[in-house]
């Protein structure tokens, strides 16, 4: 539930202040009171069991559509607590997670401490290529995951992010993108106080069609889209204006 403090914009293109986004995630990463570790990145603070169910359903559904093989290299941009790392490392893949919040990376290190074939890096989306190079990380990657991060990028940086992602994809690569998207068009929340999150919150919920067309412009030349759709079953959804939607592209 949201109160009407801050700005709530439908249709128009407005930029977020990245300092607000950074503050949100750093504060969230420090929160010791959440009911489940998945609440840190899947939210639903007032219903921890829903976050757990969503995590399980997403991994079961999406993993069946991907060709996951031991030894493959995966880049997870906006990895949060390393939620996908749990699954991929268990399958024997090499996992590189990067996130703009140092607090989230601290939680990812704790969450994935029992796994060796990984690297966890602090870095915002706009600088992920530089951070990978600084860490001496080998490129390209066999899999690239972007899970709920584009919504925190302004339009100019979003377009560049697609190009940067394209540049790190291997010749045979699978790209998994999941975002919260506007059901009836673009919706931007700019420092709206969320009672469920107990914080001011900012995000750009682009429409499904906007994502579909922008992905097509960037990737259709050498990738093909193999799947798209609403991620969660109806009994796991609780929003009317937005929906969790995914795309899978392969080459």
Both tokens assigned to 234: 């109806």
| pLDDT of 2 higher than 70 | no
How much is the pLDDT for 72?
98
Fold of 7-250: Rossmann fold (3.40.50)
Q: At what angle do helices 102-111 and 18-30 cross, to 10 degrees?
A: 40
Smallest CA-to-CA distance from 211 within 172, 171, 249 is with 249
C-alpha–C-alpha distance, residues 181 and 192, integer Å:
17
- 34-76: pLDDT as tens digits: 666 666 555 566 677 788 888 899 999 999 999 999 999 999 9
Tens-digit pLDDT profile for residues 160-219? 999 999 999 999 999 999 999 999 999 999 999 887 777 898 999 999 999 999 999 999
Residues 6+ apart with CB under 8 A from 27: 199
What pLDDT does 67 receive? 98
Structure tokens at 46: 């007032």
Residue 29 predicted with pLDDT over 90: no
The edge-to-edge listing of strands for the beta sheet with 73-77 is 118-122, 94-99, 73-77, 141-147, 169-182, 242-250, 224-230
Express each pLDDT in 87-132 by its tens digit: 999 999 999 999 999 999 999 999 999 999 999 999 999 999 999 9
pLDDT of the residue at 170:
98
Question: What pLDDT shows up at residue 129?
Answer: 98
Q: Where are the domains of the chain?
A: 7-250
Q: Which residues contact 47 (CB under 8 A, 6 or more apart)?
A: none
- Quick one: pLDDT band at residue 6, thresholds 50, 70, 90? low
How far from 101 is each of 19, 21, 25, 75, 83, CA to CA, in Å? 11, 10, 6, 17, 15
Does pLDDT of 135 surpass 50? yes
- Per-residue pLDDT band for 10 (boundaries 50, 70, 90) equals very high
């Amino acid at each position: 539930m949201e109160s009407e403090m801050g700005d709530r914009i439908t249709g128009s293109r407005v930029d977020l202040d990245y300092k607000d986004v950074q503050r949100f995630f750093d504060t969230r990463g420090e929160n010791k009171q959440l009911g489940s570790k998945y609440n840190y990145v899947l939210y639903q603070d007032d219903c921890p069991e829903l976050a757990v169910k969503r995590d399980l359903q997403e991994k079961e559904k999406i993993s069946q559509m991907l060709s996951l093989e031991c030894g493959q290299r995966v880049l997870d941009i906006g990895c949060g607590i390393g939620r996908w790392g749990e699954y991929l490392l268990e399958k024997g893949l090499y996992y590189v997670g990067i996130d703009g919040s140092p607090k989230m990376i601290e939680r990812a290190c704790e969450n994935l401490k029992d796994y060796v074939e990984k690297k966890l890096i602090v870095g915002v989306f706009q600088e992920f290529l530089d951070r990978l190079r600084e860490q001496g990380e080998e490129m390209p990657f066999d899999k690239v995951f972007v899970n709920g991060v584009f919504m925190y990028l302004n339009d100019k940086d979003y377009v560049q992010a697609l190009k940067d992602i394209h540049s790190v994809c291997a010749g045979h690569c699978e790209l998994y993108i999941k975002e919260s998207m506007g059901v009836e068009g673009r919706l931007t929340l700019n420092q709206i106080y969320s009672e469920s999150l107990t914080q001011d919150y900012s995000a750009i919920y682009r429409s499904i069609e906007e994502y579909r067309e922008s992905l097509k412009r960037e990737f259709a030349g050498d990738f093909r889209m193999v799947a798209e759709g609403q991620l969660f079953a109806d009994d796991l959804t609780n929003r009317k204006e937005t929906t969790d939607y995914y795309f899978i592209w392969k080459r």
